[in-house]
Structure 1
């Protein structure tokens, strides 16, 4: 459940139960349910709030249900005065525009609560006029530092990297839309993740190394195993996506001068529709399709199964294949046998190296433009298509060497 889903669950399920239960002892429009009452009915929900949002049920309820109960004349916690009123008008107008676009209240309320926390902190630290300095380019450095100061306070009060990034993203969105509408000249949150260190993952997920992948590749005995290694390590697919891969998703001969790719439709992937470029190993998939297409009753799956109801092998079968290959090679990561997800992590680590490689190529250009950071050139002087082309070229070179 995402944050908006949790809010909807409280409003649509928990609140009616609180009203109907004589043992609740709490009025839902005035105070949150007791921990004992809510945990007794929905212990998984309580744990989810604590684990995913670092919030106690009471705090989450107060912020998202009680704080957003009255949409008319919402209290942003701003002081009195003309400067505060100008800020309040922009905040209210921004939310009205989101409603006009069709955003539901279950999405707007938690978003509004995060904006409110930022705005109140800003007012406490710097005064009530959130926008005046953002209209004056000469005050850019000062205002960016002010936003950074507020963000640092938020950063210390939020417990997870995901929650910290969410606040930065939401506040940046508010400022970005004011820039687009012409109310302010620049966005002080533009590169705030970098200043806060949020663009560097705090977790440590081990992955296969290039030597590990090369060893697995050399040990493959047939087309099936070769496709297993290429799909996980060369395309970064999830094990479930590879197990369910279908010929309808395969584009080996794209219309334009482009790499072959996999076309995932809505419902095919955890994060929705999209494409995955096969920067190396497309010939492995082509050979596998030639082999399975000759089977009687083939239904189009790359890893077909005559016994499974889905028509393709179960993801656990794919994991067993991978485990057998790992055991045969003796590859370990930190003393343990890697699983298929280690291959997907390898792809992401290789992509990160490609980003650094491309940025370093443009260091002379950055210096010529007077920029201390080559990433500024990548963001401001290259089109999205050019950035993508450079990254894919570097990735293709690295992967092609592994899967030769």
Structure 2
């Protein structure tokens, strides 16, 4: 018996986990064995690669044939010329899904696009099952449907919450679903994205990270705060907490002498920083920071160099409590709440962390194709072993900058 087959506990895998295993492990092994993944693998191909156990598991534990399973991961049945079967009755939505995936295939490995196809098919089928219709595109074309559609999407995500075991898997579903709605906005003219404000982002992220008492602002909420901000000082406050991930005390005492803005690596330098590095990269918001410095320097000859100065404090700058109070007042004006409460500086800092994790996930998705060529199912191996530190930093910042721009610029 193949040693690889012996190590796979097939019977313990859910159907969703089998599909994830297909994309992560089996297709990589088939590609390494020389199989053309544009054509449907046979049972013998799987046997030769050491994965014969999947057929028994599908039949005995999931009441599914191998043909049905292969169809669910993007392969037509034997001799079939039909396109992928989405399993819904709305042609407009199917056309939009196919257009979205064609763009995804141009940007990423085909296996990644196949994984997206499966997760999106699961979503649209659940949507139709829950709401007895699948006119997803038509629904988001009418701005009057925005509130109702948020509730509709949340109802489907609740079904996913029940069906899926892993919070990491749930977040991958949500990421793909959100990207599809982003596509409807940018390419089809939809006036809103109903996934921007769903509660599941915070819930699943905190379950995954084990930090249930430290919720995060969503990307849409950060954008609302930034848009509501009254002038450059409040905008800088949002940038410092959400785009740079600073603690409120660090924001309060930020001084011009700490800023290194020349060259390709703008950053903030800290002589002594709790539980972290001595520098913080300024990935986003440098022009706004520069404008704020110019305004402070030209408007007050007695300026002491602090970005949030105070003439009433012996330190020359505001306190962390003042930063907290200002952030809360801004949230109240913007009517932004997190779990029914006014957000704190920690929710802004938590946004930075969750956004960084999402950016890293995007980066790893884009390294899938390189990993496959190197014979690895884990793109993090490529990140660690095949890219220099300068390249890793460059790519991390590019993906993080893109995520932050989505939040602050919409």
Pairwise TM-score range, normalised by the shorter structure: 0.3 to 0.5
Computing the radius of gyration from Cα coordinates, the structure with the larger value is 1
What is the TM-score normalised by the length of structure 1?
A: 0.48
What is the TM-score normalised by the length of structure 2?
A: 0.47
